[in-house]
Amino acid sequence: MTQLSVKDAIKAFLHIHIRGVQVRDGDDIFVMGLVSSLFAMQLVEFTETRFGIEIGPDDLVLANFRSVNALSALVGRKTCVEGA
């Protein structure tokens, strides 16, 4: 999976749950007030299911989920996808 397709999948998921707000790759969705801690857990579940990875305790830091870029980088690290 390429970086672009990872980001597209993340943005599609966010679009479903954050209606009416355009989220750019670097936007901090928590600072913007678009998501809650409960939604963060949904984001973890989506990430594990969609990309076939396991999010371990060391990965459960807010910095990994703040933006499309951050989450894409986490997926890249967990899947060893170059450039993700």
Residues 6+ apart with CB under 8 A from 73: 64, 84
Is residue 21 scored above 50 in pLDDT? yes
Q: Distance (Å, rounded) from C-alpha 64 to C-alpha 67?
A: 8
Q: What is the pLDDT of residues 49-76, one digit of tens each?
A: 999 999 999 999 999 999 999 999 999 9
| The two structure tokens encoding residue 24 | 């750019």
Q: Distance (Å, rounded) from C-alpha 8 to C-alpha 54?
A: 20
CATH number assigned to the domain comprising residue 31 = 1.10.1200.10
Q: Distance (Å, rounded) from C-alpha 77 to C-alpha 17?
A: 25
Q: For the chain, what is the domain count?
A: 1
Amino acid at 37: S
Domain that holds residue 28: 3-79
User: Has residue 84 been placed in a domain?
Assistant: no
User: Has residue 50 been placed in a domain?
Assistant: yes
| The two structure tokens encoding residue 55 | 């999010």
Is residue 84 scored above 70 in pLDDT? no
